[in-house]
Amino acid sequence: MAQDSSKDVPLKVLVAGGGIGGLVAALGLRQQGHDVIVFERTDLAKEFGAAIHIGPNGHGILKNLGIFPEELGANQFEKFADYDAQGELKNLMDLLSLDVWPHKWVGCHRVALHEKLKEKAIALEGPGIPVTLKTSSIVVDVDPESATVVLEDGSKYTGDIVLGADGVSSNTRKIVVGPEIKPRGSGKSLFRFMIPREAIQKNPRIAHFAQYNGCMTSWHGEVCRLVMYPCVNNTLMNFGAIHPSYMSPAKGEGWDQEASKEKLLEVFGAFGPQVKEMLDLVDSSTLKVWSLLDMERIPRWYKGRLALLGDAAHPFMPYQGQGACVAMEDAASIVALLPRGTSKDDILERLALYQSIRDERAHRIQASTRNSGQDLGEEEKRQVDCEILQRSSKNISETVPVQEFRSAVPHVWN
C-alpha cells in the first residue's frame, strides 16, 4: 500500500514581526521542518540601551532551541536588593539559596539575544529550511481565510498559516478582534538607559550600589521607581526609571523616544543625593523614554488561519520583566502544536487548542504585572516583591491547562 506522502510536506508559515517572539516561533518552526517567512517592519538596525530579564520559563525554551544566553554575556541573578528613595537598604535577598527554578533567571542584552535568534533562524547550516527574513516589510492586511498577507508596497504572500507577532501596535490584531480593542496609555512612562558598572564602582559614594554580581536592585519612591540590573557579563548596568507619564510627556509613540538628562534628574529630584549622583552618569545621547501601554483582554487569539502572539495579543508592563518570556511561551506553544506532518486541515483545531492553552495563563501574568506596578506603601512593596519571587519559582508546566499538551511536549517547559 502506498504511504501518505503529505506528512512529509512542510507547512508554509508567514510571520508578521521579527522581534523576539516572532523569531522564536520562526526558529522553532524551522526546526520542526516548516518553510517560514518573517516580515519585519524595520531594517533591524542595532538597538542600544536595552536589556531584558530571561526568566526560567524563557531560558528553558531558548536552550531547547540551541540558544544559551550565558554564551551571549547573560548573567544569572544572584541577589535582590531593595532601597528606599533616599538610598537606604531595606532588604537584601540571596536568590541562589532559593534553588527552586528549573532554569536560571538571567539578565541579557536584548540586541545580543535578538542577533543570535536571527543568525540561527536564517543560517544555512542546522536542521530544517533556513528562514526567509524580509526587512522593511510592513504587513498592512491579512486575509485570515486564505492565509494571505499584504505588505505596504502592495505585494502579497500566501501560506498555510499566519502568525501575528507585530507588537503592541499590531495591525494583525485589528483583523482578529477588530479595531476597537487597542492599546491605551497606562499613566506610567519609563526612562531607559545603561551605565557601565565600572563608572559606578569608581565613585566611592555610590560604589556599594554595584558591589554584587548579578544583583537586581530597586529604589522605591512614592510615585517613581528605579530598577537596575546587570548584563554583558556584569559589566553594563541596565536601568528602567518608572514614573507618571505627565512628568515626562513623550513626543511620540514607541520605546525609542529621545529624552534629556535634565528631565530625568528633574523627575527623580526627590530621590537621595547618592541616587541622583548615579543617575548623573547617564550618557544623554542614549537616554530614551517610553510611554507604557496597557490593553483590555482580547476575546480570541485567532481568526481563520491567523493567530496572535506576544504583545500583539497581550501588551505587558515591564515591572516583572515577563513580556519577552510570555511571548516565548506563546511561540513555543505554536511550535509544539505544529510538528512536521501537521496537515493543513488540522490548523484550525490546533489554533483552538493554542488559545485554550495560552489565554488564561498569559492574561493572569499580565494582570499580576499590572498590579505590581501600582504605587504602594513600603510594607506592601515588600509583600509584592515576595509574591513575585514565589510566582516566578513555579515550573510553568504546573499551570498549563491541557494535560495532553503538557505530557506530549515536556521538553518545552522543563
Domain of 302: which CATH number? 3.50.50.60
Whether the Cβ atoms of residue 42 and residue 137 lie closer than 8 Å to each other:
no
Termini Cα distance of the chain: 40
3-state secondary structure of 303: strand
Q: Which of 112-116, 231-235, 290-294, 328-332 shows the lowest per-residue confidence on average (mean pLDDT)?
A: 290-294
User: Comparing C-alpha atoms, which of 38, 33, 76 is closest to residue 55?
Assistant: 76
Query: Residue 47: its pLDDT value, please?
Result: 57
Q: Is residue 122 situated within a structural domain? A: yes
Number of domains in the chain: 1
Residue 34 carries which side chain, given as an amino acid letter? H
pTM above 0.75, yes or no: yes
The length of the chain, given as a count of residues = 414
Q: Is residue 133 situated within a structural domain? A: yes
CA distance 79 to 98: 10
Q: Is residue 211 situated within a structural domain? A: no
Q: Sorting pLDDT into bands at 50, 70 and 90, what band is 347?
A: very high
Q: Is residue 87 situated within a structural domain? A: no
Q: Sorting pLDDT into bands at 50, 70 and 90, what band is 63?
A: very high
Q: Is residue 200 situated within a structural domain? A: no
- pLDDT, tens digit, for every residue of 185-196? 888 899 999 999
Rounded mean pLDDT of 329-344? Answer: 96
* Residue 281 grid cell: 552618569
Find residue 37's DSSP bridge partners. Answer: 14, 132
Is the pLDDT at 358 greater than 70? The verdict is yes
Rounded mean pLDDT of 200-225? Answer: 96
Is the pLDDT at 302 greater than 60? The verdict is yes
Q: Is residue 99 situated within a structural domain? A: no
Helices and strands: H and E segment counts in the chain: 12, 20
Segments forming the whole domain that contains residue 16: 9-74+105-183+295-377
Q: Is residue 126 situated within a structural domain? A: yes
> What torsion, rounded to 10 degrees, do the Cα atoms 254, 259, 264, 265 define?
180
Q: Is residue 209 situated within a structural domain? A: no
